[in-house]
């Protein structure tokens, strides 16, 4: 994500990443916040070029990166047009030879799974825009399916629930906080009441709304159910030898959304397989890409 001044004429990057995230919905005048990626794929090539150039400058300063290579994670089912656009953005940003690596593969490597052995491993990589389910063996992806559903869609579902059921408007950041609070309290006290700041569509004024977290049960379960359906589809297509391995080792969840409320429990209940949330799940893709880059 990037925040630009003068985006339509000569764009000047003011902030990127977390700093730009804080500006969503708060911009004024000639400022514009743009997402380079949406639902896991490149949607704005110019913004992607600015974002990559910003990242390169932060990492290397003014040093030239002659001969240095780069790896970039892409969804396993990215089209050749999407891959081509990303390579172009990387080249325009000044990166040298770029290698595109499937994110579920990188996530599995980053989670320390034995992807190069003759043994099946199932990974569910839970991102902001997409969730990818893959079975890996012998250093490659045997099977993969993805759903354009992730943390952002869950935040939207939480906001929609409050809007349509309670006539209360909240922003994406507040929805994200509710999701994380629900996750923390799920096993200890969902009767806890969340105090939500937003705008009442009845009084049309800023307001504080109190709601028991348990009211979000249906929203969380419906969301996790969409991911469970994909896991089931992939399991149904998996050859018996690989199924046997997956039954022995279980399913591994990676990505920032690995702790998505209900997800682990629902996959376990629906498939009978043990489910493990990878350690530092949000860093698995980056760690896996680093491994690929250095080896």
Ligand X SMILES: Nc1ncnc2c1ncn2[C@@H]1O[C@H](COP(=O)(O)OP(=O)(O)OP(=O)(O)O)[C@@H](O)[C@H]1O
Q: By CB under 5 A, is residue 75 in contact with Mg ion?
A: no
Q: Which does 110 bind (CB under 5 to 8 A by kind): Mg ion, ligand X, none?
A: none
Q: Which does 129 bind (CB under 5 to 8 A by kind): Mg ion, ligand X, none?
A: ligand X
Q: Which does 198 bind (CB under 5 to 8 A by kind): ligand X, Mg ion, none?
A: none
Is residue 267 within 8 Å of residue 229, measured between CB atoms?
no
Region 139-178 residues binding ligand X, contact defined as CB under 6 A: 150-152, 176
The rounded distance, in Å, linking the Cα atoms of 192 and 213 is: 6
Q: By CB under 5 A, is residue 127 in contact with Mg ion?
A: yes
Structure tokens, 138: 């012998």
Count the Cβ atoms, other than its own, within 10 Å of residue 3.
22
Q: Which is nearer to ligand X, 37 or 228 (CB)?
A: 37
Q: By CB under 6 A, is residue 282 in contact with ligand X?
A: yes
Q: By CB under 6 A, is residue 129 in contact with ligand X?
A: yes
Q: Which is nearer to Mg ion, 78 or 273 (CB)?
A: 78
What contacts 52, CB < 8 A, 6 or more positions away? 89, 90, 93, 95
SS3 30: coil
Task: Tell me which residue has tokens 């006539």.
Answer: 167
SS3 125: strand
Q: By CB under 6 A, is residue 179 in contact with ligand X?
A: yes
The rounded distance, in Å, linking the Cα atoms of 33 and 2 is: 6
Closest alpha carbon to 272 in 255, 251, 295, 293: 251
Q: Which is nearer to ligand X, 39 or 166 (CB)?
A: 39
SS3 289: helix
Region 216-245 residues binding ligand X, contact defined as CB under 6 A: none
Region 11-40 residues binding ligand X, contact defined as CB under 6 A: 37, 40
Looking at 90, 257, 271, 278, which residue binds ligand X (CB under 6 A)?
257
Binding site for Mg ion (CB under 5 A): 127
Binding site for ligand X (CB under 6 A): 37, 40, 127-130, 150-152, 176, 179-180, 183, 255-257, 259-260, 282
């Amino acid at each position: 994500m990037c925040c630009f001044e003068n985006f339509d004429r000569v764009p000047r990057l003011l902030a990127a990443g977390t700093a730009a995230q804080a500006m969503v919905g708060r911009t004024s005048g000639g400022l514009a916040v743009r997402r380079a990626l949406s639902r896991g794929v490149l949607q704005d090539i110019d913004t992607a070029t600015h974002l990559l150039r910003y990242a390169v400058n932060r990492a290397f300063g003014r040093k030239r990166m002659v001969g240095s290579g780069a790896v970039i994670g892409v969804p396993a089912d990215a089209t050749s047009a999407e891959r081509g656009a990303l390579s172009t953005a990387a080249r325009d940003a000044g990166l040298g030879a770029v290698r595109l690596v499937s994110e579920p593969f990188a996530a599995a490597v980053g989670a320390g799974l034995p992807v190069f052995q003759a043994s099946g491993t199932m990974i569910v990589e839970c991102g902001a825009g997409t969730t990818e389910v893959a079975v890996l063996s012998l250093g490659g992806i045997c099977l993969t399916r993805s759903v354009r559903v992730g943390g952002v869609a869950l935040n939207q579902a939480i906001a929609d629930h409050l809007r349509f059921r309670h006539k209360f408007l909240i922003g994406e950041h507040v929805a994200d906080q509710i999701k994380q609070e629900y996750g923390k309290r799920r096993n200890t006290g969902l009767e806890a009441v969340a105090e939500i700041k937003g705008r009442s569509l009845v009084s049309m004024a800023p307001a504080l709304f109190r709601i028991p977290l348990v009211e979000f049960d249906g929203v969380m379960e419906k969301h996790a159910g969409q991911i469970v359906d994909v896991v089931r589809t992939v399991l149904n297509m998996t050859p018996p030898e690989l199924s046997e391995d997956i039954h022995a080792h279980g399913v591994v969840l990676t990505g920032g959304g690995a702790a998505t409320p209900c997800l682990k429990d629902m996959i376990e209940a629906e498939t009978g397989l043990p489910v493990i949330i990878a350690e530092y799940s949000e860093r698995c893709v980056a760690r896996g890409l680093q491994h690929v880059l250095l080896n």
